[in-house]
Structures are given as C-alpha cells and as structure tokens.
C-alpha cells in the first residue's frame, strides 16, 4: 500500500476515534486545538492527493454539498406511528392484550425517553453510512444524506461486530443549549428568533447547503434497529449493541418487569425532564423480546408491541375572539375557534378545532369567553374548558350555523353522526378544491409540480372542476396563471402525465371515497383487482371483505351509485389512469387460501415472518395475530410459545410446519 494512503487512512481513523470520544462518549482525549490541527493536516493531504478520496472522511463533516431537490425514497421497513396512552389503566389494558396474543403470563418491557425531534432512518452497508431518509409519510421520505453526514454524532463508519446491512432509526434533535446560542446570535444580528428546538431541527434537514447544516449543533439519538437476522434478541440488547458500534444511544433506558415499574420510570422523568439537555414529551415503552415483537406485529397504523406514554399536556388560557366554520372535501363542517394568540408548548396558537356542534354545546363555548387550551398529544391545540368567572355579562349561547359558509346551502346532519354536512357536492368550492387536493396528494397520485395552491387557482380560473379535468390541461392553459413560468407549467403537465403509472390501490385511495383510507383501499384493490369488479359489488358483497364493515361498505356502494362519479371514472379510464391491477401485480396472486385464517408464530428458516404473511395474503388468506376458534391454521416455527401451541391443540387447530405451508401454496 502507498505510504501516503497509509498516512491518510491512519489520520482519518484517529480523527474518527477522537470524534467518537468527544461527541458520543462525552470524554475528550485531546484538546480542541490538537483536533483542529490534525483535521487541517488531513485536509491538506487530501487536497494534494485527490486520488485517495474517501466519501466518509472526517473532513467532509463541514459540509459544502448543495442539494437542489431532495429525492423521495421508499422505506424498506415502514416507519409506523405510535399509539398513545395517558394513564395506568391504558397501560394495563395494553399489557393484557399483549399477554393474550402471545399466550404468556408476563411480559418484559424496555422504557426509553421520547425525544422531541425529527425522525430519521439511516442505512448502513458493510459498516458505512449509505443513505439517510426522513420519516415522510412512513412509507417514503426525503433523502437528506449530505446534511446528515455533517452531524457529529452520526458515525460515517462503524466499529465492532456490526451486521453487513441494517437500518437504524433515531431522532435528530437540537440540544437546548445549542438552541439558546443560535437564538442569541439571531438576536445580535437583528433576525427573527426560532420558535422551538423541534421545528428548528426538522427545518435544518431540508437546507440546500450542507455547510449551513454543519453550523447547527444538531445531534442524532438512536433507538431502533431494523433488518433481517440481526445478532440481537431483545430491544435493550439492541441499544447496547448500537452503542458499541459507535452510535449515540441514550443510557437512561431501563428494563421493566411490569406496569408499576413502567410508571416509576414515567413519574421520575415527568418530574425531572427539565434537567435533561434535550426536550422530551413522554416515554416510549416497548416489549423487550424481539421475537415477541415479531409475533405481535402491527395494526394499520402502529406496532402492537410499543406504546407512547405522553406527559400531561401544558395548558394556557386565552380569549376566544370568534367562531368560524370550515368546509372539508367531504362537505363536513368544522367549527374553528379563532383565539387571541398565545404561546403553548413552544408554538404560537391562534386557532383550535371545536370539532362539532355537540362539543360546543357540551362545554358551552361562546365567543369572547376566556378558554383553557391544551395540545392533544402536545401537537394539536384543543379547547378543554371555559373560565366561567371571566364570562362577559351580556354573553349569549352559541347558535350553530345552519347554512354552508361558502355556498349558502342549508346544512344537513344525518342521524347518528356528530358533524353537519354541506350537501352541495358539485357546486361548493372548498369541496371541489379539497377533493382535487386529496387526489394529487403524496400518498395518492403524488403529482409532481402541482401543489394545493395551484389546484385552488386552477379551480378558481375555471380550468378544472374535478380531478379528471387535470388530464386535459395543456401547457398553454397553465402558463398565464400567477407565478407560473414556462418550465413550471411544463413540469406540471409532465407530472400529471406521469401519474398515469400510479398503481390501482393508490388511485382508489385518491378517488376520495368517504371512509376509504390507504389501508382500506389496499384491501379492496387486492380483493377486487379492478375498479369494474368493485363498482359491481353490492354492500353485502363488500362486508364479506376482510376488515370492511357496514359503514365503509355503504359508503363505497353509495359512491358508485352516483352518475357523476361513474362518468369521472370512465374519463380516468380513457386517459389511461391505472384502474386495475397490472399483469406484474397479478403475477403470484391466487385464491388458494381464500376463506382461511392463519396465525404465524416462531422463527423460520426459509422465509422471514413478513414474507410468510405476504404469501398468505397473496394467496387469498387472512393473517391474524391471535388464535381463536376462527383460526384455520397455525404456522409454527422454532421457539413457538408453548401456551400458543397448547391453545391451538385445545381448539383442534391444525399446526403446520414452514415446509408444510410452502407445499400448500
């Protein structure tokens, strides 16, 4: 090996070790001056010898790369949300559900602090950081690798016995001291102050110039490993392993044997959270055993094996100046409290949803009242009460409005529903705009170059009246619009054309059928495989589809009973939008297991647990998390829980080996 290259490698390795000692272990072994001198020496050597370039050199921590557009990348492992709990009863109920599904008498948990920052997924291959992707919508996020490389607590190369490939998740946070210093500098420069550490950390990740990100004292606190056949068996062990590989993993995590031990951890940190150098908004509790996590699986939105315990919400009081009313895309009317601006949990709150007429009546909320405001889960502001002592003497009860605030149509309220609706579906502007905005949204058609404001502009200019009209737009029609140059008009039309390749299940979600969210759209698409088959299904047929209830079935049938909707769908077909499964999607799909319900338990050799579940669903079967009399088969791998086996045998349910199941399909 060339002696210059040896010198470079040795210097890089030494600086990485010093960086790790200083930023991760908080235990500097050389002075800042000595570190800077060594870094300067490395920079000079690298400048003289560009042939030995290393994309993960410590010199690149200062940034300098410019990213004009952040690419959207799908997550290999979906980033789920967490269910929230606020009481001991919530935790006890959750613990009972877990024990019932696992068929065990007790479960061990890991308790970790819930850091208030921006979620991040890092991918490592052969010990090197390959990419960093934001949480996004959980399915896909923005690649921000260049910016993340500037954060000193993110290792660019790992040490120790790391696996060949894995993902690790964490929170990008801004320590309180760093946030304070940033605001002191802004104050001295006469600039507006940043509102709170969380938003500042999140905003930093999307700065185009990585050298600007490098100036911010961001940190990355890691807490979750994802990958196949990782060398760990518990969540607590995964934290210790990650720490040994070079990641900054907080040391406050504890193993808890029961809910009482969980609450002791929660109560301690709720009382002492202000001693931390970071902001936290609760505690995350996870089932410790990773095999148990695997068996528990996920609901449509969250893991069954984890729960966030949120600290009591901060509360402030302010004056409610006026109640106004908003119209949503489905015609639902939402009353909104317009408040005297007030600082709450780090942000200025000016508005809060009042939900519906019943909520207003229940709390007897009136204009000019002094109201108590909280943030639900410390995110969404809500009014929780009224200070009656400060109510004006001439106050009168709120009369809920009877006509649409946008089109004047009399409002309707169906029996058993809390909300009022505007029935003027085709003539009420916010409904028209809202439906098209939903159609083009990221989880739906994801039309590049077209945003919500442009949709409103197109509708108001009379260029479109529903989402099918988008496919007739020309560049010449769009260019005269406000803030629309030739290039952006071209991008918009190209983005609409590209959306014709979006798969059927996302198109179905984009149609905006009431109660049909992403998960329901996927279920219906998989079951019916084309819009024609779905349109011809009756409410009774629909109810027989896995997880489709009466409410959803009636809504779907009602949507396809409307002539205007059928006409729109026919137009979408003519334009080439995907309204059925492609040949590639249909490949491998059978109805071999139709009507059969499976529970998967244990560790498998030939395919992973997730692949097994996918095979069941691709062949028409249903995957269930717990054994019941409705279970057709249990697929048993190594280390299957004895109580689960016992229950299956007691109910005379056939237990299949991995090989027996694979033969079946």
Q: Known binder of ligand: residue 546?
A: no
Q: Which residue has the tokens 């989402």?
A: 467
Phi, psi of 165 (to 5 degrees): -150, 135
Contacts of 325 (CB under 8 A, 6+ apart): 333, 334, 335, 336, 401, 405
Q: What distance separates the 2 farthest-apart alpha carbons in the chain?
A: 89
The two structure tokens encoding residue 359: 């909520």
Q: Known binder of ligand: residue 310?
A: yes
362 classed as catalytic: no
Q: What is the dihedral sign for C-alpha 578, 579, 582, 587?
A: positive
Round to whole Å and give the CA distance between 43 and 32: 16
Alpha carbon 362 to its chain centroid, in Å, reads 33
The two structure tokens encoding residue 607: 């395919």
Q: Known binder of ligand: residue 91?
A: no
Q: Known binder of ligand: residue 111?
A: no
Q: Known binder of ligand: residue 407?
A: yes
- If phi over 0 gives left and psi between -120 and 50 gives alpha, with beta otherwise, what is residue 364? left
Active-site hit among 88, 96, 114, 257 = 114
Round to whole Å and give the CA distance between 106 and 263: 16
How big is the chain by its Cα radius of gyration, in Å? Answer: 28
Q: Known binder of ligand: residue 582?
A: no
Residue 416: exposure state from Cβ atoms within 10 A (0-12, 13-18, ≥19): exposed
Residues 428 and 406: beta-carbon distance below 8 Å:
yes
Q: Known binder of ligand: residue 35?
A: yes
Q: Known binder of ligand: residue 551?
A: no
Give per-residue burial for 642-662: e unless 16+ CB within 10 Å, then b: eebbebbeeeebebbebeebe
Round to whole Å and give the CA distance between 384 and 292: 38
Q: Known binder of ligand: residue 171?
A: yes
Round to whole Å and give the CA distance between 51 and 85: 55
Q: Known binder of ligand: residue 186?
A: no
Residues in binding site: 32-36, 81-82, 112, 135, 171, 286, 310, 404, 407, 422, 428
For the annotated binding site for Zn(2+), the residues are: 404, 407, 422, 428
Which positions make up the binding site for NAD(+)? 32-36, 81-82, 112, 135, 171, 286, 310
The catalytic site residues sit at 114
């Amino acid at each position: 090996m060339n002696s210059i290259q040896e010198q470079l490698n040795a210097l890089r390795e030494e600086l990485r070790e010093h960086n790790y000692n200083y930023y991760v272990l908080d235990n500097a072994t050389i002075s800042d001056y000595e570190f800077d001198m060594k870094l300067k020496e490395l920079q000079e050597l690298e400048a003289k010898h560009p042939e030995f370039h290393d994309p993960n050199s410590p010199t690149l921590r200062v940034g300098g790369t410019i990213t004009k557009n952040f690419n959207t990348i799908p997550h290999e492992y979906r980033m789920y949300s967490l269910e929230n709990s606020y009481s001991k009863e919530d935790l006890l109920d959750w613990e009972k559900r877990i024990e019932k599904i696992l068929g065990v008498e007790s479960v061990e948990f890991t308790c970790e602090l819930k850091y208030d920052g921006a979620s991040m997924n890092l991918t490592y291959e052969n010990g090197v950081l390959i990419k960093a992707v934001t949480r996004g919508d959980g399915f896909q996020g923005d690649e921000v690798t260049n910016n993340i490389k500037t954060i000193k607590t993110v290792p660019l190369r790992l040490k120790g016995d790391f696996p060949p490939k894995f993902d690790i998740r964490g929170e990008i946070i801004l320590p309180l001291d760093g946030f304070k210093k940033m605001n002191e500098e802004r104050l001295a420069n006469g600039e507006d102050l940043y509102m709170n550490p969380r938003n500042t950390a999140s905003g930093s990740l999307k700065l185009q110039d990585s050298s600007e990100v490098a100036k911010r004292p961001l940190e990355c606190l890691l807490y979750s490993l994802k990958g196949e056949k990782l060398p760990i068996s518990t969540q607590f062990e995964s934290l210790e392993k990650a720490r040994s590989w070079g990641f900054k993993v907080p040391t406050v995590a504890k193993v808890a044997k029961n809910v009482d031990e969980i609450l002791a951890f929660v109560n301690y940190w709720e009382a002492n959270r202000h001693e931390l150098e970071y902001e936290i908004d609760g505690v995350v509790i996870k089932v410790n055993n990773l095999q148990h996590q695997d068996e528990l699986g996920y609901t449509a939105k969250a893991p069954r094996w984890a729960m966030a315990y949120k600290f009591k919400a901060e509360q402030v009081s302010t004056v409610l100046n006026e109640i106004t009313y908003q119209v949503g895309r489905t015609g639902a009317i939402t009353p909104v409290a317009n408040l005297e601006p007030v600082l709450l949990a780090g942000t200025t709150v000016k508005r809060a949803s009042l939900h519906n007429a019943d909520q207003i009546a229940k709390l007897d909320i009136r204009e000019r009242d002094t109201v108590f405001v909280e943030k639900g889960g410390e995110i969404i502001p809500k009014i929780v009460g009224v200070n009656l002592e400060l109510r004006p003497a001439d106050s009168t009860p709120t009369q809920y409005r009877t006509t649409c605030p946008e089109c004047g149509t009399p409002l309707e309220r169906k029996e058993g529903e809390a909300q009022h609706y505007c029935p003027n579906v085709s003539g009420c502007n916010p409904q028209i705009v809202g439906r098209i905005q939903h159609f083009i949204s990221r989880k739906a058609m994801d039309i590049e170059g077209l945003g919500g404001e442009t949709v409103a502009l197109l509708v108001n200019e009379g260029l479109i009246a529903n989402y099918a009209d988008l496919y007739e737009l020309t560049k010449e029609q769009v260019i005269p619009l406000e803030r629309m140059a030739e290039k952006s008009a071209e991008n918009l039309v190209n983005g609409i054309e590209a959306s014709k390749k979006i798969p059927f299940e996302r198109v179905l979600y984009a149609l905006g059928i009431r109660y049909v969210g992403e998960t329901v759209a996927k279920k219906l698409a998989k079951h019916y495989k084309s819009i024609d088959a779905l349109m011809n299904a009756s409410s009774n047929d629909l109810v027989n589809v896995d997880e489709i209830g009466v409410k959803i079935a009636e809504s779907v049938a009602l949507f396809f009973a409307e002539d205007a909707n059928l006409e729109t769908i026919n137009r979408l077909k003519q334009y080439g939008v995907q309204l059925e499964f492609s040949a590639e999607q249909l490949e491998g799909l059978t109805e071999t297991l139709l009507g059969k319900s499976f529970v998967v338990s244990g560790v498998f050799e030939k395919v992973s647990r997730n692949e097994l579940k996918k095979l069941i669903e691709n062949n028409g079967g249903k995957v269930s998390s717990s054994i019941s009399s409705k279970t057709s088969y249990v697929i048993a791998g190594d280390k299957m829980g004895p109580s689960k086996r016992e229950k299956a045998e007691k109910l005379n349910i056939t237990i299949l080996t991995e090989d027996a199941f694979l033969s079946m399909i």
